[in-house]
Amino acid sequence: MPDPGDVDAFWESEWKKNLLETAIARVSRRVNPKHAQIYDLYAIRNWAAGKVARELGVSLVQVYLVSHRLTRMLKQEVDYLQKKLE
């Protein structure tokens, strides 16, 4: 029989993962599609900023700015979703 603590930890991890995925989808629908793509490649898929800039034809500064802005938006969205679901 699995340790109940392990099961609880597993479900907590899955809950957080699902919450983040939902927040990403909701934020992605509200921003410029190119910005969503920049964030996906840089922050989620962990591409190097230089590679993202080259592949998408944007400046390195734009990669960092988009990442910073969308990270802030995601934090707000996660907070909103958590409060809504409490």
At 58-81, the pLDDT tens digits run: 999 999 999 999 999 999 999 999
At 35-49, the pLDDT tens digits run: 999 999 999 999 999
pTM of the predicted model over 0.75: yes
pLDDT band at residue 9 under the 50/70/90 scheme? confident
Q: Where are the domains positioned within the chain? A: 21-85
The per-residue pLDDT of the chain, averaged, comes to 94
In CATH, 21-85 is 1.10.760.10: no
- The phi and psi torsions of 25 (rounded to 5 degrees) equal -65, -45
Q: Find out whether 63 and 42 touch, Cβ atoms under 8 Å.
A: yes
- The pLDDT of residue 17: 94
Q: Is the dihedral of CA 48, 51, 57, 61 positive or negative?
A: positive
